[in-house]
């Protein structure tokens, strides 16, 4: 029953390196996992705010009123799962199994081609130029640098970073903290890092393996932690 | 009589005799003859090979072999190459480096495969081993160019730095400039996996120029075509060379420069690289083709006619890696031109496409098997196969030692008869008596495993996917394959019975991997309880296995023999079943 909603328990390990999220991590532990997820999803359905892909505002604006105690557990677009017939293996179950969101109905790890080689094939098959939206500012043809906009709540300037430069959530957040504390004095515990993925959904950074995150992040926003 | 003879030789003589024995198997056998041979052998073993880094602890290795100079370690299971092992599973090299750094400073060689290597580890290597010579990292991850800079800066006697298929955090290409200007001992450099754009060409050129003993140089994709000539000009003694990207605007001066420089490389035997190839520049390598024994075109997206022309120039080819653009027609040419061919790997250019994009079928493999008398190792991706073809291949090429066939669509039947491919693979194991490694694919029933158990007596490694009907299949393999060391299985209906019935067999193997099969949690617990010398790891990202009924199948199972006991560096999604008949969480 609990898996019907396709919720993946983010293992504490995945969130570990991510300082900004520590609040949520504690709460997650307290609440003992699955019940909390069920509750959160129920909250969603009640609010009826999930018929289609929502904007960031909707996602977090409505939430924080109803689900104050668990802001970090929310998974945008959850009840959509039933209706969402796009063949999307969207980071639901064990996300590390997903080779690449592009191979939607592929069996994991099949055909047995080394990750390294697969990367080259994909770079050769699909020059990524076409995919660029405003947010994914620039991407070299062979995917060397991927520039992504990062906005911080309350800060006028939107920055651009090359996500390829980082190898983990930890290194990313460290860098962002350094960058943004120049703009706005803040306590890093008060903020959460969120990102918009390829489908336009806003998610909390840290739940999926780093490599998958790099492939799907379109832009990021650092928001206040209402918890 | 024997005992007298053994003691009549002074230790030094025995040691000298043992020094001619290089293979681990032989050394292990030598050490089992008697106590004194064990003692002598362990003091003079210079190379240690640990096939599974968790089978033994660093301390145990150091205690037994106090004076080794070279170590080879392997970490993650093979299926990690295909993303089946979640990130964070393990395979950390740091504890090994730390122990070795403490034990002795004269370690010279470290070879690692599928391990997590951090910059900290690399820095420790650089700091601790004054005579460090060889670092080979194969399919490793976790480090950045900062770690490489530390190695470059400190290892004055470094001869070999080989990063093959590694995931490196490419922060800056300037790490190359950390090799001091006085450093000249480089013999082999493989940086093909690095991605950095702003490759420091001048540092690379200077390095190549002053290292006159350089024999192997494999560049990364970022090195443009017009830079290759400059680099090769200073290294005509190269035996193995990997280009960077092999594309540029077609210019006659660049072309002739390149062709000229290749002509001057009289020792060149192996070529690789060739990312983004444009056909116009391919003939530049024709001057060296007649001497080539190894050619890796597996990133070269050129079509069959160009591949055929190229391959026709290489009569001495022993090893070819190529994309399926070569097609059946190209493989037929290969079969007639390259009679010395020993190893062939054909990779799919469009593995995820629903329809074939090239005309490559089982016929290509048949042609090469018929035409190349020395062919012994094959990795072949294709979209259709027949029992008839496999039988022909087996009969004509009984000298196969490695046969890995991947029919892209799981459970594909014989396209001619629509039957399973049991008989075909059965022929392979029956005729190829020296077969050491086999990968199966296509529609297969328990019958193929019966053949394998009956005939594949020298088989050491078997990879199985989407095959079999019942536990009987697994039972055939575990009970019949006497030489089996590694077994990896995914998506097969194998459950508890065969596993438990053959539990003892598992102690004679290095490891068993089973994912998306039907082994229950209860069986895993039982196995862990009853077999203290096995580490039974349940890998399950859905949550603790005891949060579900006991008879629920586990997601992934990795069983390996170990004298080091359960490990303590497991992530939250890995549980070791042990004698306490409970769970051990890290």
Residue-wise DSSP of B199-257: --HHHHHHHHHH-TT--EEE--TTS-HHHHHHHHHT-TT-SEEE-SB------HHHHHH
Query: For residue B288, what are its two tokens?
Result: 């060296």
Asked if A9's CB is within 8 angstroms of B543's CB, the reply is yes
Task: Look at residue A168 in the predicted model and tell me its pLDDT.
Answer: 81
Query: For residue A226, what are its two tokens?
Result: 């209402």
Query: Which element (helix H / strand E) includes B111?
Result: strand B109-113
Do residues B74 and B48 touch, judged by C-beta distance below 8 A? no
B406 touches chain A (CB under 8 A): yes
Report chain B residues whose CB lies below 8 A from the CB of A103. Answer: 352
Instruction: Give CA–CA dist B393/B389, Å, rounded.
Output: 6
In terms of C-beta density within 10 A (0-12 exposed, 13-18 middle, 19 or more buried), how is residue A69 classed? Answer: middle
Asked if A114's CB is within 8 angstroms of B82's CB, the reply is yes
Distance from CA of A176 to the nearest CA of B (A): 17
Give helix A56-66 / helix A34-47 axis angle, nearest 10°: 110
Task: Look at residue B6 in the predicted model and tell me its pLDDT.
Answer: 54
Burial B448-473 (b: 16+ CB within 10 A, else e): bbbbbbebbbbbbbbbbbbbbebbbb
Domains present along chain A, CATH in parentheses: 145-179+186-226 (3.10.20.90)
Report the residue from B144, B406, B571 with minimal CB separation from A112: B406
Q: Which residue of A has its CA nearest to B197?
A: A144
Instruction: Give CA–CA dist B320/B378, Å, rounded.
Output: 10
Asked if A108's CB is within 8 angstroms of B86's CB, the reply is no
Report chain B residues whose CB lies below 8 A from the CB of A33. Answer: 543
Asked if A111's CB is within 8 angstroms of B406's CB, the reply is yes
Q: Which residue of B has its CA nearest to A11?
A: B572
Report chain A residues whose CB lies below 8 A from the CB of B302. Answer: none
Instruction: Give CA–CA dist A159/B488, Å, rounded.
Output: 47
Note the pTM of the prediction, 2 decimals: 0.75
Instruction: Give CA–CA dist A49/A201, Å, rounded.
Output: 13
Asked if B541's CB is within 8 angstroms of A94's CB, the reply is yes
Report chain B residues whose CB lies below 8 A from the CB of A3. Answer: 542
Report chain A residues whose CB lies below 8 A from the CB of B221. Answer: 142
- Farthest CA pair distance, chain B: 78
B125-150 confidence digits (pLDDT tens):
999 999 999 999 999 999 999 999 99
- ipTM of this complex prediction, to 2 decimal places: 0.88
Asked if A97's CB is within 8 angstroms of B406's CB, the reply is no
Instruction: Give CA–CA dist B473/B451, Å, rounded.
Output: 10
Asked if B81's CB is within 8 angstroms of A121's CB, the reply is no
B368-409 confidence digits (pLDDT tens):
999 999 999 999 999 999 999 999 999 999 999 999 999 999
Asked if A125's CB is within 8 angstroms of B83's CB, the reply is no
Report the residue from B82, B299, B573 with minimal CB separation from A120: B299
Task: Look at residue A99 in the predicted model and tell me its pLDDT.
Answer: 39
Instruction: Give CA–CA dist B534/B486, Å, rounded.
Output: 14
Do residues A210 and A167 touch, judged by C-beta distance below 8 A? yes
B405 touches chain A (CB under 8 A): no
**Residue B536: helix, strand or coil by DSSP?**
strand
Residues 266-285 of B with CB under 8 A from A: 275-276
Do residues B291 and B339 touch, judged by C-beta distance below 8 A? no
Instruction: Give CA–CA dist B299/B321, Å, rounded.
Output: 9
Helix and strand numbers, DSSP H then E, in chain A: 8, 6
Distance from CA of B333 to the nearest CA of A (A): 25
Q: Where are the beta strands (DSSP E) in B287-365?
A: 294-297, 319-323, 343-347
Spans of chain A below 50 pLDDT: 1-104, 126-143
Residues on chain A bordering chain B, Cβ-to-Cβ distance under 8 angstroms? 3, 8-9, 11-13, 33, 93-94, 96-97, 99, 103, 106-118, 120-121, 124-125, 140, 142, 144-145, 165, 167, 209-211
Asked if A9's CB is within 8 angstroms of B542's CB, the reply is yes
Backbone φ and ψ of B191, nearest 5°: -115, 25
Task: Look at residue A101 in the predicted model and tell me its pLDDT.
Answer: 40
Q: Bridge-partner residues for A161, per DSSP?
A: A148
Task: Look at residue B524 in the predicted model and tell me its pLDDT.
Answer: 96
Spans of chain B below 70 pLDDT: 1-8, 196-199, 580-586
B223-269 confidence digits (pLDDT tens):
989 889 999 999 999 999 999 989 888 889 999 999 999 999 999 99
B325 touches chain A (CB under 8 A): no
């Amino acid at each position: 029953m609990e898996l019907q909603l396709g919720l993946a328990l983010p293992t504490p390990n995945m969130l570990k390196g991510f300082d900004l999220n520590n609040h949520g991590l504690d709460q997650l532990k307290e609440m003992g996992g699955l019940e909390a997820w069920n509750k959160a999803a129920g909250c969603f359905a009640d609010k009826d705010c999930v018929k289609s892909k929502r904007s960031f505002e909707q996602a977090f604006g409505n939430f924080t009123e109803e689900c104050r105690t668990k802001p970090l557990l929310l998974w945008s677009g959850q009840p959509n799962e039933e209706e969402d017939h796009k063949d999307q293996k969207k980071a639901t179950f064990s996300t590390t199994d997903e080779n690449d969101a592009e191979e939607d109905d592929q069996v994991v790890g099949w055909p047995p081609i080394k990750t390294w080689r697969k990367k080259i094939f994909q770079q050769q098959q699909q020059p990524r130029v076409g995919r660029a939206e405003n947010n994914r500012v620039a991407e070299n043809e062979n995917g060397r640098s991927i520039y992504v906009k990062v906005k911080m709540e309350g800060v006028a300037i939107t920055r651009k970073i090359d996500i390829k430069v980082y190898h983990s959530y930890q290194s990313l957040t460290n860098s962002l903290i350094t960058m943004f504390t120049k703009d706005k004095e803040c306590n890093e515990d008060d903020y959460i890092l969120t990102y918009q993925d390829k489908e336009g959904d806003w998610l909390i950074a840290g739940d999926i393996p780093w490599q998958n995150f790099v492939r799907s992040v379109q832009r990021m926003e650092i928001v206040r932690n209402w918890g | 009589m024997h005992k007298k003879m053994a003691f009549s030789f002074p230790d030094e003589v025995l040691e000298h005799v043992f020094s001619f024995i290089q293979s681990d198997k032989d050394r292990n056998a030598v050490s089992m003859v008697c106590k004194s041979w064990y003692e002598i052998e362990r003091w003079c073993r210079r190379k240690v090979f640990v096939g599974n880094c968790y089978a033994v602890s660093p301390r145990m290795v150091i205690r037994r072999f106090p004076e080794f100079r070279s170590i080879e370690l392997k970490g993650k299971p093979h299926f990690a190459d295909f993303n089946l092992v979640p990130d964070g599973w393990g395979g950390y090299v740091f504890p090994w480096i730390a122990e070795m750094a403490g034990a002795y400073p004269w370690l010279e060689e470290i070879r690692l495969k599928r391990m997590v290597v951090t910059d900290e580890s690399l820095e420790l290597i650089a700091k601790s081993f004054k005579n460090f010579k060889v670092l080979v990292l194969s399919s490793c991850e976790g480090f950045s160019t900062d770690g490489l800079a530390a190695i470059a800066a400190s290892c004055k006697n470094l001869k070999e730095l080989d990063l093959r298929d590694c995931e490196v955090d490419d922060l800056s290409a300037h790490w190359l400039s950390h090799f001091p200007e006085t450093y000249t001992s480089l013999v082999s450099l493989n940086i093909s996996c690095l991605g950095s754009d702003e490759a420091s060409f001048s540092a690379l050129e200077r390095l190549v120029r002053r290292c006159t003993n350089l024999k192997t140089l494999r560049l990364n994709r970022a090195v443009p075509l017009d830079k290759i000539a400059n680099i090769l000009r200073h290294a005509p003694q190269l035996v193995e060379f990997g280009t960077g990207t092999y594309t540029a605007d077609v210019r006659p001066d660049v072309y002739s420069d390149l062709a000229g420089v290749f002509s001057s490389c009289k020792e060149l035997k192996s070529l690789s690289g060739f990312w983004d190839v444009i056909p116009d520049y391919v003939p530049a390598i024709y001057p060296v083709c007649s001497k080539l024994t190894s050619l890796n075109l597996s990133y070269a997206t050129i079509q069959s006619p160009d591949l055929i022309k190229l391959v026709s120039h290489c009569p001495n080819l022993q090893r070819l890696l190529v994309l399926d653009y070569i097609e059946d027609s190209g493989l037929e040419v290969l079969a007639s031109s390259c009679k010395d061919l020993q190893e062939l790997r054909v990779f799919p250019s469009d593995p995820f496409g629903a329809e074939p994009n090239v005309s490559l079928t089982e016929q290509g493999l048949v042609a090469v098997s018929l035409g190349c008398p020395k062919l012994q190792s094959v990795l072949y991706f294709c979209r259709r196969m027949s029992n008839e073809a496999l039988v022909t291949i087996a009969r004509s090429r009984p000298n196969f030692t490695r046969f890995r066939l991947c029919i892209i669509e799981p459970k594909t039947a014989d396209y001619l008869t629509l039957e399973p491919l049991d008989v075909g693979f059965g022929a392979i194991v029956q005729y190829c008596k020296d077969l050491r490694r086999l990968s199966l694919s296509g529609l297969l029933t328990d019958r193929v495993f019966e053949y394998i158990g009956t005939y594949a007596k020298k088989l050491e490694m078997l990879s199985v996917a989407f095959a079999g009907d019942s536990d009987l299949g697994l039972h055939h393999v575990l009970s019949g394959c006497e030489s089996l060391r590694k077994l990896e299985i995914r998506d097969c209906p194998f459950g508890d019975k065969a596993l438990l019935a053959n539990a003892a067999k598992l102690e004679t193997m290095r490891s068993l991997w089973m994912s998306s099969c039907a082994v229950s949690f209860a069986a895993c617990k039982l196995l862990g309880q009853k077999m203290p010398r096995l580490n039974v790891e349940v890998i399950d990202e859905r949550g603790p296995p005891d949060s579900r009924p006991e008879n629920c199948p586990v997601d992934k199972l990795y069983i390996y023999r170990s004298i080091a006991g359960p490990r303590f560096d497991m992530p939250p999604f890995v549980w070791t079943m042990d004698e306490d008949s409970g769970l051990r969480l890290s």
